[in-house]
């Protein structure tokens, strides 16, 4: 069993999709050891508690710097023998965490990376302003700086003429990000992700004889 922790904040919609997948046994060989949030009053924490998941708060206001907060987070993850870290709407800097969990942090971005890499502000607004016809999302392993490293999966959606940044963002999350995150975690837990240089290769599923 892969011991996993989810780092979540905000509304926690991706966290809810992940919790639902666990409830319906859609991800095998995983043990959710912890959901860790930076604020006790965020809705992500409520979602974790409602699902009966072990939930913890590591409040950044108790630490003098982002680095010291990330060190506390990393130490907590190591103390719980976490193998896989899952990012679900986590809005804090990862700091030192990626260095201690190299190729063991999975997250998503609402773009077909490397498109809009380094984009500041609302990516979906930028997509509409540039007249992009197809956008989507990317599931990835975090690199040493906490950014997009090896690409695990990507999924596209068509940009509609009537789209607003809000409607496009909602569709990208619902149709792409939530599904990609769960699928990437499932592939990791099945031992099907192999890293070759900067590439992530998905090994074929072993058939039972």
Q: How many CB atoms lie within 10 A of CB 47?
A: 22
160 pLDDT above the threshold of 80: yes
Q: What is the pLDDT of residue 205?
A: 87
181 pLDDT above the threshold of 90: yes
What number is the average pLDDT over the span 154-171? 97
Burial class (CB in 10 A: 0-12, 13-18, 19+), 114: exposed
100-135 pLDDT, tens digit each: 999 999 999 999 999 999 888 899 999 999 999 999
* Domain 2-202 class in CATH: alpha beta
For residue 209, what pLDDT band results from cuts at 50, 70 and 90? low
Q: What pTM was estimated for this model as a whole?
A: 0.96
What number is the average pLDDT over the span 20-43? 97
- Locate the DSSP E strands across the chain: 2-8, 30-37, 55-57, 84-88, 105-109, 134-142, 148-158, 193-196, 199-202
Q: Tell me the backbone φ, ψ of residue 107, rounded to 5 degrees.
A: -145, 180
């Amino acid at each position: 069993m892969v011991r996993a922790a989810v780092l979540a904040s905000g509304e926690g919609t991706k966290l809810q999709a992940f919790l639902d997948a666990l409830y319906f046994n859609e991800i095998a060989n995983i043990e959710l050891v912890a959901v860790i949030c930076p604020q006790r009053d965020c809705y992500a924490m409520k979602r974790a508690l409602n699902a009966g998941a072990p939930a913890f708060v590591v409040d950044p206001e108790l630490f003098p710097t982002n680095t010291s907060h990330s060190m506390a987070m990393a130490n907590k993850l190591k103390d719980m023998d976490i193998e896989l870290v899952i990012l679900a709407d986590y809005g804090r800097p990862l700091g030192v965490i990626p260095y201690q969990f190299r190729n063991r942090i999975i997250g998503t971005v609402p773009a077909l990376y490397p498109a809009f890499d380094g984009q500041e502000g609302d990516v979906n607004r930028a997509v509409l302003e540039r007249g992009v016809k197809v956008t989507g999302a990317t599931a990835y392993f975090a690199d040493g700086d906490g950014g997009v490293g090896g690409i695990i999966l990507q999924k596209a959606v068509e940009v509609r003429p009537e789209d607003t940044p809000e409607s496009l963002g909602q569709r990208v999350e619902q149709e792409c990000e939530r599904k990609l995150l769960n699928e990437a975690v499932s592939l990791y837990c099945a031992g099907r992700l192999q890293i070759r240089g900067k590439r992530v290769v998905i090994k074929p599923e072993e058939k039972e004889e």
